[in-house]
Structure 1
Amino acid sequence: MFDAFERAIAFRYLRARKGERFVSITAAFSLLGITLGVAALIIVTSVMNGFRADLMNRIIGLNGHLTVQPERGRVLADHEALVARLATFPGVAQAAPVVDGQVLLSAPGGGAGAAMLRGLPPEALAARPVIRRGIRLGSLEAFGEPDSVIVGARLAARLRLQPGDTLTLLLPQARGGDFTAAPRQRALRVAATFDVGMPEYDGRFLFVPLATAQALFGLGEAVNQVELLVDDPARVAQVTAAVRAAVAGSPLRVVDWQGANSSIYAAVVIERNVMFLILTLIVIVAAFNIVSSLTMLVKDKARDIAILRTMGAPRGAILRIFLLCGASIGCGGTLVGFALGLGVATNFPALRGWLARLDAVMPLGPELRFLMQLPSVVEPREVVAILAMGLGLSLLATLYPSWRAARVDPVEGLRHG
């Protein structure tokens, strides 16, 4: 596309000579601007992806990705067949029966309060990574023992509970009973405490074996719902559609994690999109800088253009010379920003280690210490889109100044050059 003559002239124009320092400095700032813009876009989108993934993993790690529930006020009496059927669906990693409800708590030290109780089979709870990683005291293996309970760390701290202590659960009215029934209570041994980093869950939730929850709520062999874990939570909509089609006509409703947490999910997506738009403006401003610097270069080289035209250079050659000048600035800055942003976004663990060592030698303020906790998830499609946008804007920014250079009249250029 560009012959040796055009490349030689273009790169000669990019090198600053005496009296041309200002044009060269403007071009350098244009390159720096688009480099920082593209790098910031990649880093910030990766961090926002990390925050979204971390938040959703904490939320859906406790509640499951997909829930099949009966109509209000009902229970699933014959859930075994439904669980076995749903477990065979493509994309479903686990199907587990669940019993949940609110209970009152009483601790040996006199503490009391209310909490949300969830009953699951021990193997189903052990298969949830957020719980396995969140165990702080005690052992998850002890959860399989009769009358065991796993308590949120904040709730345990408020009630002064440790693994091995006895916790009394009280249900004022067992489900299915009349209003004269005596309160149902049960003493459980604390097997472990968990901390998933969300006060709403760590301060309100506790887990018991499924049989214990069924007995406490007087459900017999019935359950409240069936929870599903899918292989790819981001594509839960496909599994949701298949499950809804399978249970159509029955008194069941299907809710996925995106619908159950729609407000939180929408807020995270909107914040991420707004940040992307704001940082895109940096790249656009840098592209305008390319237009201005290339326009000044064309004006400065008007006499050279006129001489080249009188020597027989066609308009297309002049256009390609300045197109190459602008593309070298814009595309070069985009590629450098791409490498810088991708390098930082994919090496956050190393960055955290470096900051930790620096903090040990010279304590960092809280404004910088939070960088050690930033998550990062690089989405290849987004990185490719950012790279394509940077290259596209860089090429578009060179078109008008290059066209103006090709339209320079040789006579006017020699007269006013």
Structure 2
Amino acid sequence: MISRFEWSVAMRYLRARRSDGFISLIAIFSFLGIMLGVATLIIVMSVMNGFRAELVSKLLGFNGHVIVSGVANEIVDYGAISAAIRKVDGVVSASPYIHAQVMAIKDGRASGAFVRGLPDEDLDFSKLDGMTIRSGNLQRLDFERTIVMGYRLARSLGVDAGDEVTLIAPSFTATPFGSLPRGIAFEVAATLDVGIYDFDNLFIGMPLAEAQTFFRYGNAVTNIEVMVERPEDVERYLAPIDQAAGAMSYVTTWRQTNQSLVSALDVERNVMFLILTLIIVVAAFNIISSLIMLVKDKARDVAILRTMGASQGSIMRIFIISGASVGVVGTALGVIIGVLFCLNIEAIKSVLEAFTGTDLWNAEVRFLSEIPALVDPVEVVIIVSMALILSFLATLPPSLRAARLDPVDVLRYE
């Protein structure tokens, strides 16, 4: 147990006197280092967790967990295959669709895009998390030759809901003058904000029957989108879905489709954790140096305390309290600063952008429109535990040295 006497002496050593100013300055730097290290770790790891969670959520909300594709780039008997896949344990839904590329043209402006032809029940994009309708009405998709598109694509073409856009299919039509590309005008029913830059800049959606006619697929589709109960464990569904799909189809998971992106995020997250941990390690070394100087400066006081009956354990605890207090208070303030920063990260970003006049979060580079921050309580506990353990371990060498001081040697020439 730590006595009141030990607390009193330790707190007195922490209060700076004029002669101890340099020691206290090092202690302040140690405190700031631990506080900033803990806060930075929480902020960076929360942003990376939020970035990964938001990106995966949007990818899974817009794309299937499992994609069944035809070997010959088309699936003819997609109704029977979809029904067989739905019977697989853990499968939530299986929806056929057409995925194809087009050229969108409007008044001399042109942009490449991909078209997703979806069944009527999947055209209600407003049900998807994080997706908003910028303009128009999805009910207009009931009319022939109507489409929806990403709002960035619509903006680059200079169109809005109600305008017409000409789509050029990748196939050609034979004429007496040679093969000519097929172009059909479609009305834009609505513009969507998916929240992922590439989709907002490239996506066009239309009813499945309309896509089958436009791309001349007849009664066939290119893919079947499968949603499962546990997308994080998607590999467990792979074999039964592959068996239900049949020999003329092959199956890919969302992890395989986005393997490079997910792997890069995981590697970056681990590397950043290791790099930022060094801030706390450096602060812990500062605690060691400040305590060593404090022990040397207080050697006479320690010798007097020993002669008055203080034990080695009592002296050791005094210096442990002095050093660990810096780590505990710095860690506590670091957690408060880190969590508050994460909770108000968008407001802070807006203030910094207004102050610096720069765009701190470019959606073209970072895929998402806003900075996501997801504070993981388990991760915060790990960071706090690591900071406290390092702070405690840093106090042991100087405290042991103080406890082993021989009062006779110290006071011999006093």
TM-score range, shorter chain: 0.7 to 0.9
Say whether residues 1:96 and 2:88 are aligned partners.
Answer: no
Q: How many residues align?
A: 402
1:393 correspondence with 2:384 = no
What corresponds to 2:374 in structure 1? 377
Measured after TM superposition, the shift of residue 341 of structure 1 is 0.9
Counterpart residue number, 2:143: 145
Contact 1:92 1:239 in 2 (8 A): no
Residues 303/248 of structure 1: CA separation in 2 closer, same or farther (3 Å cut): farther
Q: Work out the CA distance in 1 between the residues paired with 2:303 and 2:409.
A: 8
Distance of 2:67 and 2:127 partners within structure 1: 18
- Contact map agreement 1:134 1:194 (CA 8 A) in 2: yes
For residues 182-230 of structure 1, what are the alpha-carbon distances to aligned partners after superposition, in whole Å with 9 as ceiling and x for unaligned?
9766543221223446554334331111111122333333322122345
How far residue 149 of structure 1 moved from its aligned partner, in angstroms, is 0.8
CA contact (8 A) 2:52 2:265 kept: yes
Asked if 1:77 is matched to 2:57, the reply is no
Q: Deviations over 1:335-383 (max 9, x none)?
A: 1111221122123355467x39xx8xxx522248659953322122221
Cross-structure match for 2:48: 48
Contact 1:102 1:116 in 2 (8 A): yes
Cα deviation for residue 129 of structure 1 reads 5.7
Report the CA distance shift for 1:319/1:102 in structure 2 as closer, same or farther (over 3 A): same
Report the TM-score, using the length of structure 1 for normalisation. 0.83
Unmatched runs of 5 consecutive residues or more in structure 2: 173-177, 363-368
Name the amino acid aligned to 1:209. Answer: P
Q: 80-89 or 334-343: which moved more?
A: 80-89
Structure 1 residues 159 and 388: CA distance shift in structure 2, 3 A? same
How many angstroms apart in 2 are the aligned matches of 1:169 and 1:368? 33
**2:366 aligns to what?**
none
Worse-matched range after superposition: 209-218 or 195-204: 195-204
User: Which amino acid in structure 1 is aligned with residue 311 of structure 2?
Assistant: P
Which residue of the partner structure matches residue 221 of structure 1?
A: 219
CA 1:309–1:253: 2 relative to 1, 3 Å: farther
- Measured against aligned partners, the alpha-carbon deviations of 1:311-336 in whole angstroms (never above 9, x if no partner) come to 33222222222111111111221111
Structure 1 residue 99: Cα displacement: 0.9
| Shift in CA distance, 399/36, structure 1 to aligned 2, threshold 3 Å | same
1:238 aligns with 2:233: yes
1:98–1:225: 8 Å Cα contact kept in structure 2? yes
Look up the equivalent residue of 2:388 and give its one-letter code.
Answer: L
- Residues 62 and 131 in structure 1, CA contact (< 8 A), matched pair in contact too: no
Does 2:277 correspond to 1:286?
no
- Letter matched to residue 75 of structure 2: L
Q: 1:340 aligns to what?
A: 337
Alpha-carbon deviations, 1:107-152, whole Å to 9, x = none? Answer: 4x35556432111123323256668734323122322433321123
Secondary structure at 1:20's aligned position in 2?
helix
Pair 239,369 (structure 1): closer, same or farther in 2 beyond 3 Å: closer
Structure 2 CA distance for aligned equivalents of residues 129 and 413 of structure 1: 77
The answer for the alignment partner of 2:256 in structure 1 is 259
Distance 2:179 2:359 in 1: 58
Aligned partners of 2:349 and 2:360 also within 8 Å: no
Q: Is the 8 A contact 1:352 1:373 kept in 2?
A: no
Partner deviation per Cα, 1:236-287 (whole Å, 9 max, x = no partner): 2413322334424833433222321222233333333333222211111111
1:170, 1:102 → 2: CA distance?
9
Residues 416 and 264 (structure 1 numbering): CA distance in 2 closer, same or farther, change over 3 Å?
farther
Q: What is the distance in 2 between the residues matched to 1:115 and 1:3?
A: 73
What code does the residue aligned with 1:399 have?
L
| 1:263–1:75 Cα change, 3 Å | same
- For 1:158 and 1:411, the matched residues in 2 are separated by 84
Read off the aligned partner of 1:27 and give its amino acid letter. A
- Inter-partner Cα distance in structure 2 for 1:325 and 1:134: 55
Query: Is residue 10 from structure 1 mapped to residue 7 from structure 2 by the alignment?
Result: no
State the SS of the aligned residue for 2:329.
helix
Aligned partner of residue 23 in structure 1, secondary structure: helix
Pair 1:307 & 2:304 matched: yes
Measured at CA, do residues 132 and 264 of structure 1 come closer, stay the same or move farther in structure 2, by a change above 3 Å? Answer: closer
1:30 matched residue in structure 2: 30
Contact residue 85 and residue 241 of structure 2 kept, 8 A: no
1:276 maps to: 273
Q: State the distance in 1 between where 2:91 and 2:240 align.
A: 15
Give the structure 2 partner of residue 67 of structure 1.
Answer: 67
Looking at structure 2, the residues matched to 12 and 303 of structure 1 have their Cα atoms a distance apart, in angstroms, of 15
Q: Any conservation in 2 of the 1:46–1:378 contact (CA below 8 Å)?
A: yes
Correspondent of 2:189 among 174, 191, 197:
191
- Per the TM alignment, residue 85 of structure 1 is displaced from its structure 2 partner at its CA by 5.2
Paired with 2:399 and 2:186, the residues of 1 have a C-alpha distance of: 79
Change (3 A) 1:15 1:157: closer
Change (3 A) 1:106 1:33: closer
Cα distance change, pair 329–132 in 1 and its aligned pair in 2 (3 A): closer
Matched, 1:19 2:10: no
